Every structure is written in C-alpha cells, then in structure tokens.
Amino acid sequence: MGSNEGNALPVIVRILDASASEAARTSAVCAKLPHSCSDPILYTESASCLQDLADKSTDILVIDLETIGGDEALEAYAVRCPKAVILAVSSRGSVSRAVSAMRSGAHDFLTKPFSLDALASKITFQLEQRRPVQAPVAPAQSEPQEIRPAYISPDLLSLSNPEEPTRDAMNRLIGHSAQMRDIHDQIKRMAPSQAPVFITGESGTGKELCAKAVHDLSDRRPSRFVTLNCAAIPRDLIESEIFGYVRGAFTGAVDNRAGAAEQADGGTLFLDEIGEMDLLLQSKLLRFLQTGTFQRLGDTQSRKVDARIICATNRNPVAEISAGRFREDLYYRLHVLPIHLPPLRERRDDILPLAETFLERYSTEERRGFRGFDADAEARIVSYAWPGNVRQLENTIRQMVVMNDGAAITFEMLPMVIRDQSSRPNAIIDLSRERSRVAAPSRAFGSIEPLWAQERRIIEDALDAFDGNIAMAAAALEISPSTIYRKRQSWTERSLVPLMS
C-alpha cells in the first residue's frame, strides 16, 4: 500500500455488516487503497459501532443498509462522524435508494455483490475530494443553535431570515388547501403557548416540519430546537440519548455527555415517532414531564431544565393505549395541543404546488433546465395516491431531475410504479393473496413455515413490488415503516441469507 501524501497517520476504516464473512471480505479493500491503513475495525451490530463513532476517530465507514434497518437510519451514523467518507452498500440497489442514502449522509452507494476494486475506487475518489457529509454545520457562537444529535431527519435547516419568522415557517409548510390553511392557523395559535404539542399523521406528511414551525413562531425561537427520532435509536441507547450519561456509566462511556433534554434547555425538544418508545422509558419521560428534572445515566445528581415538548407519531395513539404499548397517563400529559396532518391523497390541491416547488429547487441544485411538467405527467402526479406522502413526492421529483434532462418532466420520466395506474392496487391485491396463501398452510408439519419467515417473505415481496421503497411497502401492508426496519434488523441478527423466491 502506498502512503497518503500529506497525511502521515494511517487511515482508520470501520465496516458495519451483520454478515461477519462479508465484513471480512470488505476489509480486504485496504490492500487496494493508495493510502496507509490501520487494521480495519469490523462490526456485526449497530450499538458498538455507534458508540465508537461517537468517541473515536473515523476516516472511512462502509455500512450495510440492511444491517442498520434501512437508509433512513443512516443519518445517525453520518452525524456521529461528519468528517468520514461514508460508503453505503446494499443488496437492494436502485436509483431511488442510492439517492435516499446519499441524502441521509452517504458519499456514495454500491450494490452487493460488488468488487473490491470498485469499492476502492469510490473510497479513493472521496478521500481525495474529502467533502463533508450533509450534516448540520455549527453556527457562530452569537447565533442560536439548532442541535441535531443523532437519529435526526435531514429535511430541516436553520431559518434563513430571522426577521420574518411567520413567513419563513409557514412557507415551509406548502399548501393552500382548506386542510393546510387550518393547520397554519393551529400552529399560529399554539406557538405562543408553553403546553406540549402532539402531532399525528402518516409517515412523510411533514410532522417534523410542523414541529419546527411551532418552535420558530414561539418565544423559544432564539434557543435550540433538538430532535430525536425514537424509531431510529437502538433500544439500549435511547435513554442515554435523551438524558445523557456520565463517564463510566457503561462500557465505552469515556466522558460525560449531555442528552437531548439538557441540550434543549430554554428551547424545544421534539420526540419524533414517540410511539416506538418502550414502556420503561415512557415512565421516565413521564416523570421528567411532571417535574422538569432528570438524571443522566449513571449519575445520582438531579438536573432541571426548561424545555417545551413536541412529539409526533404515525400510529393511532388511542389504539396503542388499548394494546398496552403506550401509557395512558403519558398520553394525556402530552396530548394537550393536538395537530393532525392529513395524508397527501386527502389534499390533492396541494400536490401540484408541492411538485412545482420541489422541481424548481432540485433543478437549480442539480443545474438542470426543467421548468414544469407536461400535461400527462401533471395529471398522473395529481391522481397518484402517494402512500409515502410529501417525502415520497419530493424524492420522486429529485430522482427524475437527477436522471433526466429537458425543459419539462414528461410522463415517460415518471418511475414505473407511479406511471402504471394499476401498479399500487395490483401490488396490494397480490400481497393480500400472499397473506391468504400463507395463512392456510399445509397441515403436513414439515411444510409449515415459521411465522417470522412468512412475515419476511411478505415484506420482501412488498419491497420488491415498490422497488425497495419502504414507505410505499409499509402503506400497502398497512403497517408503519419503522415496523419494517425493526423486522429487518431482527432478520440480520439471525444471520439469515436472503429468501429465494
């Protein structure tokens, strides 16, 4: 191996892959790099990798998306190593998935199986460019800070015009339908209050954006807006992420660290997908809400903070209470000022304005010449159900801009799943038939398939039907995207090979 000119220290490589053999194979890439490398550090599970990324230096991170539960979870790793080159790899490669992974913080994307030469080429190019990951940039000390620790959506940025908070915040929530006008009014009324806000809505409807608008219009605006995505945090790390920890609290805790609650003192703490929080932590959160005090993990000292709580979920909270998955007392403590964000299919008047806004944004960003949609494309965009809501619409527009050229988006440029009028209904019908088929297996014991394997096959069929789009597959299966992430994580822990169709 050659040495890295201008960098005397060896390059530190970390590889996260649930398959130990695949991680070992990938580690051989170091022999092909024109840089001096230390021995690669291999991980087969997320928690230890996340801890090391927070506490130790990293130059290159090769990360398997199936191991971490999908590309949306990638942002947790990107925030923890903002100077590292991140290569996302996946056995489910597609253009839309590559775009999504790079939006979440990856520098490049490879589909398995890949050659070590291809991986080495991509790493070498990125090391030479040494561009930073798309993570938040710390503002000047004189400016209010928006803290985005780990597990955070990349969709929100700091306010561009502090002198016009109302205009800026409302402009982010695009829409002129009656539903959106009502939501704008609710936000304006709720913002001055100190009471908790409880936001509900399907995945991709803009719950985090709504929470940020409430913060921006409140008197807490000069202070921090801290976001935690409870669905993306490993269960053994969530308490320390919210409340922090002291040195020695657990293996790897080499220093004291403030949690999100402490960082949000004077500002707003947004707990996204709070329905994913386990019952034990729910009780600790309830105590924090009642007293305003908490203890860092491993500490005996109580700390008091003043933070407004905004939470969001894509689940039905009343149903979760009935099922015993959510504390009723916590629900009533949080559910003071409710906002429900309707799915995009219920406010079709907003679809075209949103699409036009995204087209203008990404045409400028990608230096393309698109100025609108042709009639057929426009009609299909407006009539499509958009199960992934605004997030799916935005990602679709960006994908079309990146992959095409022209003055207008045409019908032929639309992804197949959107172009085909029958694609979504057929997918749901096929999946329903699949459910019926596996629900009545043969009575011969040897042919009975384990429940987890049936679930896995149905979910993978849905992902195949929607080109790997988790939000759309979840909508077709009538489950939350986080359920798919959790299931896939459990499969990797079993060290299973992909099921053959």
Per-residue model confidence as pLDDT tens digits over 333-369: 999 999 999 999 999 999 999 999 999 999 998 889 9
Classify residue 149: in a domain, yes or no. Answer: no
Residue with tokens 């839309």: 96
Residue 492 or 341, more confident: 341
Per-residue model confidence as pLDDT tens digits over 405-436: 999 999 999 998 898 764 443 444 344 444 44
Residue 299 or 466, more confident: 299
CATH number of the CATH domain containing 337: 3.40.50.300
Residue 328 or 104, more confident: 328
Mean predicted lDDT score pLDDT of the chain:
79
So what's the pLDDT on residue 77? Answer: 86
The most confident of the ranges 112-116, 313-317, 456-460 is 313-317
Residue 402's CB is within 10 A of a number of other CB atoms, namely 15
User: Could you give the CA distance from residue 370 to residue 366 in angstroms, rounded to a whole number?
Assistant: 10
Residue 131 or 417, more confident: 417
User: Could you give the CA distance from residue 317 to residue 180 in angstroms, rounded to a whole number?
Assistant: 22
Q: Do 211 and 268 contact (CB within 8 A), yes or no?
A: yes
So what's the pLDDT on residue 213? Answer: 94
Tally of structural domains, the chain: 4
Q: How far, in whole angstroms, is CA 79 from its chain's centroid?
A: 12
Burial 110-140 (b: 16+ CB within 10 A, else e): bebeeebeebbebbbebbeeeeebbbbeeee
| 221 shares a domain with 105 | no
| 263 shares a domain with 381 | no
Please determine, for residue 281, whether its predicted confidence score (pLDDT) is greater than 70.
yes
Structural domain harbouring 458: 424-493
User: Could you give the CA distance from residue 387 to residue 474 in angstroms, rounded to a whole number?
Assistant: 9
| 173 shares a domain with 187 | yes
| 374 shares a domain with 337 | no
Per-residue model confidence as pLDDT tens digits over 215-263: 999 999 999 999 998 887 777 788 888 999 888 887 777 788 889 999 9
So what's the pLDDT on residue 109? Answer: 83
User: For residue 355, which amino acid is it?
Assistant: A
Please determine, for residue 136, whether its predicted confidence score (pLDDT) is greater than 60.
no
Q: Do 199 and 317 contact (CB within 8 A), yes or no?
A: no
Cis peptide before 113 (omega within 30 of 0): yes
Residue 338 or 443, more confident: 338
So what's the pLDDT on residue 168? Answer: 56
The two tokens of residue 39 are 């021995």
Classify residue 93: in a domain, yes or no. Answer: yes
pTM above 0.75, yes or no: no
Q: Do 286 and 327 contact (CB within 8 A), yes or no?
A: yes
| 263 shares a domain with 308 | yes
pLDDT band at 377 (very low <50, low <70, confident <90, very high): very high
pLDDT band at 51 (very low <50, low <70, confident <90, very high): confident
| 122 shares a domain with 109 | yes
| 186 shares a domain with 86 | no
- Residue partners of 195: CB distance under 8 A and separation at least 6: 336, 337
Mean pLDDT to the nearest integer, 84-103 = 78
pLDDT band at 500 (very low <50, low <70, confident <90, very high): very low
Residue 491 or 315, more confident: 315
So what's the pLDDT on residue 438? Answer: 43
Domain boundary pick from 385, 415, 445: 415
Label the pairing between strands 302-304 and 293-295. antiparallel
How are the residues of the chain apportioned to helix, strand and coil, as percentages rounded to the nearest 5? 50, 15, 40
Q: What percent of the chain has pLDDT over 70?
A: 80
